[in-house]
Homo-oligomer: A and B are copies of this chain.
Amino acid sequence: MSQNSEYNKVDYIEICEVGPRDGLQNEEKLLTVDQKVELIEEVVAAGAKIIEVGSFVHPKAVPQMADTDEVARKLKRFDGVEYRALIMNLKGVERAEANGIMKAKLTVSASRAHSLSNLNKTPEEAVRGFAEVANFAANKGIVLSGAISTGFGYPNEGIIPIEDIYPIIDSYLEIGVTELSLSDTTGMANPQQVYDYAKAVKEKYPQILWNLHFHNTRGMGLANVVAGMQAGITRFDACFGGLGGCPFAPGASGNIATEDVVHMVNAMGVRTDYDLDKLITLAKKVQDYVGREVSSFILKAGKSLV
């Protein structure tokens, strides 16, 4: 396997495991606190350095995440491992701090129509509305990251032009957030677009630590990871077992599976921190716990090379 070829110059990627949050929040079956803690600690044992452990949002909004406080308290801490949680407001960051989660992720929708109908705010106004959260976080030593969801497209609205992304990034910078994720929440991104957008934001905002987040809704998930690497991105979200779905397409595939990403990039000569065999064992357990056939490829097909 060639490394650092003209095709791909990236030889290592960091994969953030978002299964405990973006995966489980879309599952019908609720896991127990102990099951969640077990899965997260096994993710760490498989090599994860960044795990999104849950979200501190209103329990009625996302019942699957109602127990994030307890999960956060029960979790063992490991040197060099970052636990982060999704938050939406001051209450959320307060809960993060109270439960010892020192990294919190904000999110806004890049779709103007979506943001206005949901929050009666433009995406930039929504970000600036996080100023109070940012102050609290800074005072308490909590680091914030930001997600730009539906960053490539939104149903009905269509493709989100890159020019609409820039002011959202600027707003995040205004409140001091310098780690951002461009997220294809609805599985609409294609590799050409990913390459163009990733290259553009990376060049225009070199001070930002960039992350990409893909769903495999239309089969392009892994192609989009490669396109991201070709644009020089080295951080990607992925989800054990490929859990999750798409609210606009019932039955569609969810997040790209961590084991599928690791399997592919390993074959390409790109390193990660993960042990693929441990990930496969973990994905089997995830499948058992959620009680349905998940959309991981490697779980079904096995590795290319044994």
Chain A contributes a number of interface residues (CB within 8 A of B) equal to: 52
**A226 at the A/B interface (Cβ < 8 Å)?**
yes
**A246 at the A/B interface (Cβ < 8 Å)?**
yes
**A221 at the A/B interface (Cβ < 8 Å)?**
yes
- The answer to whether A218 and B253 have CB atoms under 8 Å apart is no
Which residues of A80-136 have CB atoms within 8 Å of chain B's CB atoms?
A: none
- The answer to whether B219 and A260 have CB atoms under 8 Å apart is yes
Q: Which residue of B lies closest to A263 (CB)?
A: B218
**A145 at the A/B interface (Cβ < 8 Å)?**
no
A180-194: contact bitstring with B at CB < 8 Å (1 yes, 0 no)? Answer: 000000111011110
- The answer to whether A300 and B249 have CB atoms under 8 Å apart is yes
Q: Which residue of B lies closest to A305 (CB)?
A: B158
Q: Which residue of B lies closest to A1 (CB)?
A: B192
A208-226: contact bitstring with B at CB < 8 Å (1 yes, 0 no)? Answer: 0000000011111111011
Q: Which residue of B lies closest to A188 (CB)?
A: B304
The 4 closest A-B pairs by CB, nearest first: A219-B297, A223-B223, A192-B268, A190-B267
